[in-house]
């Protein structure tokens, strides 16, 4: 819900995140709520491209001169967040490492990170402490920036090195890092095979981008064929979930943040977004055009199901009786 709000009402400067534009409509007691607030509304599902913009600042890495951000959801106390960031062509940063895990998903543009090119629909997972860079925006680039906390970027250990890709890739802090095997410099979506999904009916497929085998935390792409339909049920699960539509539409019964237990019909469109806490049931869903979505869950996804229309005879007896009753009265 961002209509009529000051465009400067979002901020990420100096590590402070302020997101007044996404608190509208929440009724839960904030002092007893989780860090991130539920973001799911007609506006967020429709498109986030008009969410407020703010300068994007990460010390030693990027200044607001070269980047803007739209904060889609955030824990204001830790900086854990999902942001839609635009980088200007020509921006560059030296070799360094972040102090927190960061996921990056490039929507459009070209971003060079060390020896890797992140372009349309590329993904990267940067564990804390792993050297990266040098960085160059070869085109104006729009990406989803998903840090686990407010990041800092340390460059001191690499300042005397020639700024070439080998000096981050071959660095002892990369090759001997205890989390080196978690590092995903570049997953390019166009090069990945589709896999079967676990819960959804045929016509759905996924491309797995990141999975933490211990916790079940995962990031993946969901693809839905045109006219895919979920069925007569809605579902909840013991993990938060967020999704961003890359293309197409998803229609159905959404658990809006202003009234999460009375689902409302809406169409989620290109650049639509939601971040939903655990145990908020949602659905069922379907699509007209087909759809491509980026999904993230914080823990393993185990669904539990409830009937959407409890009249499993599908005859809708209540409405039928009402209609017959009205006919008699005419
Ligand atoms: Fe879900």
Distance 79 CA to ligand 1 centre (A): 24
CA of 105 to the centre of ligand 1 (A): 20
Q: How far is the CA of 276 from the centre of ligand 1 (A)?
A: 9
Distance 325 CA to ligand 1 centre (A): 39
CA of 101 to the centre of ligand 1 (A): 24
If you measure from the C-alpha of residue 220 to the centroid of ligand 1, how many angstroms do you get, rounded to a whole number? 13
Domain that holds residue 229: 195-307
Residue 278 has pLDDT above 70, yes or no: yes
pLDDT exceeds 90 at position 142: yes
Question: What's the gap in Å between 69 CA and the centre of ligand 1?
Answer: 26
In the predicted structure, residue 330 carries a pLDDT above the cut 80? no
CA–centroid distance, residue 234 to ligand 1 (Å): 9
Q: How far is the CA of 184 from the centre of ligand 1 (A)?
A: 25
- What CATH number has the domain bearing residue 273? 2.60.120.10
Residues 241 and 213 in one domain: yes
Within-domain flag for 314:
no
pLDDT over threshold 60, residue 3: no
Q: Does residue 271 fall inside a structural domain? A: yes
- Shared domain for 108 and 21, answered yes or no, is yes
Answer yes or no: is 4 within a domain: no
Q: Which of 139, 168, 191 is the last residue of a domain?
A: 191
pLDDT of residue 15: 52
- Is residue 205 within 8 A of residue 196, CB to CB? The reply is yes
Query: Ligand 1 mean position to 282 CA, how many Å?
Result: 7
- Calculate the alpha carbon distances from 214 to 148, 176, 218, 294, 298 in Å: 17, 21, 11, 21, 11
Instruction: Let me know whether 171 and 224 are in one domain.
Output: no
Residue 23 and residue 166 in one domain: yes
Ligand 1 centroid to residue 291 C-alpha, Å? 16
Which tens digits make up the pLDDT trace of 99-138? 999 999 999 999 999 999 999 999 999 999 999 999 999 9
Q: How far does the centroid of ligand 1 lie from the alpha carbon of residue 217, in Å?
A: 14
Res. 6: pLDDT tops 50: no
DSSP characters for 260-282?
A: TTS-EEEEE-TT-EEEE-TT--B
Instruction: Using the mean position of ligand 1's atoms as its centre, give its distance from the Cα of residue 175 in Å.
Output: 37
37-51, 287-301, 316-330: the lowest-pLDDT one:
316-330
Residue partners of 129: CB distance under 8 A and separation at least 6: 97, 98, 99, 173, 177, 179
The reply to whether 323 falls in a domain is no
The answer to whether residues 103 and 246 belong to one domain is no
Could you tell me the distance, in angstroms and rounded to a whole number, from the CA of residue 61 to the centre of ligand 1? Answer: 35
The alpha carbon dihedral of 69, 183, 97, 95 has a sign of negative
The predicted model scores a pTM of: 0.90
How many domains, the chain? 2
247 is a domain residue: yes
Q: Is residue 24 located within the same domain as residue 134?
A: yes
pLDDT recorded at residue 28:
83
Give the list of residues 6+ apart from residue 225 with CB closer than 8 angstroms, or none: 203, 204, 290
326 in any annotated domain: no
**Residue 2: its pLDDT value, please?**
38
Asked if the structure places residue 315 within a domain, the reply is no
Residues 222 and 181 in one domain: no
Span from the CA of 53 to the centroid of ligand 1 (angstroms): 28
Q: Greater confidence, 282 or 14?
A: 282
Q: What is the pLDDT of residue 186?
A: 98
Q: Are residues 170 and 236 in the same domain?
A: no
Residues 238, 122, single domain; the answer is no
Q: Which of 246, 250, 281, 279 is nearest to 265 (CA)?
A: 250
- Closest to 80 measured CA to CA, from 12, 139, 165, 136: 12
State the distance from the centre of ligand 1 to the C-alpha of 226, rounded, in angstroms: 20
Does the pLDDT of residue 95 top 70, yes or no? yes
The reply to whether 98 and 67 lie within a common domain is yes
Q: What is the pLDDT of residues 247-270, one digit of tens each?
A: 999 999 999 999 999 999 999 999
- Give the bridge partners for 55, in sequence order: 68
| CB-based neighbours (< 5 A) of ligand 1, an ion | 241
Q: What is the mean pLDDT of the chain?
A: 91
Say whether both 179 and 303 belong to one domain.
Answer: no
Q: Has residue 8 been placed in a domain? A: no
Residues 34 and 179 in one domain: yes
Confidence of residue 310 (pLDDT cuts 50, 70, 90): confident
């Amino acid at each position: 819900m961002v209509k009529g709000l000051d465009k400067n009402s979002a901020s990420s400067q100096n590590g402070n995140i302020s997101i007044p534009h996404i608190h509208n409509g929440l009724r839960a007691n904030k002092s007893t709520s989780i860090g991130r607030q539920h973001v799911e509304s007609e506006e967020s599902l429709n498109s986030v491209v008009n969410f407020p913009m703010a300068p994007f600042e990460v010390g030693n890495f990027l200044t607001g001169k070269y980047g803007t951000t739209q904060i889609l959801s955030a824990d204001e106390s830790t900086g854990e967040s999902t942001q839609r960031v635009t980088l200007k062509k020509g921006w560059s940063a030296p070799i360094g490492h972040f102090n927190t895990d960061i996921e990056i998903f490039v929507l459009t543009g070209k971003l060079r990170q060390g020896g890797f090119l992140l372009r349309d629909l590329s993904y990267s997972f940067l564990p804390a402490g792993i050297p990266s860079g040098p960085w160059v925006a070869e085109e104006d680039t729009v990406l989803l920036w998903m840090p686990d906390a407010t990041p800092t970027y340390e460059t001191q250990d690499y300042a005397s090195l020639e700024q070439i890709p080998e000096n981050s890739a071959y660095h002892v802090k990369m090759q001997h890092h205890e989390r080196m095997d978690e590092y995903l410099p570049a997953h390019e979506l166009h090069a990945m095979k589709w896999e079967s999904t676990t819960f959804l009916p045929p016509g759905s497929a996924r491309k797995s981008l990141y999975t933490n085998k211990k916790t079940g935390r995962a990031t993946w792409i969901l693809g839905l064929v045109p006219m895919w339909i979920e069925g007569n049920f809605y579902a909840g699960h013991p993990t938060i979930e967020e999704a961003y539509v890359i293309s197409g539409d998803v229609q159905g019964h959404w658990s809006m943040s202003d009234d999460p237990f009375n689902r409302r019909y809406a169409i989620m469109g290109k650049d639509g977004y939601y971040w939903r806490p655990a145990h908020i049931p949602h659905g069922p869903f379907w699509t007209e055009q087909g759809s491509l979505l980026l999904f993230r869950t914080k823990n393993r996804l185990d669904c539990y199901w409830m009937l959407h229309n409890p009249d499993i005879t599908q005859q809708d007896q209540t409405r039928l009786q009402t209609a017959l009753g009205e006919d008699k009265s005419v």
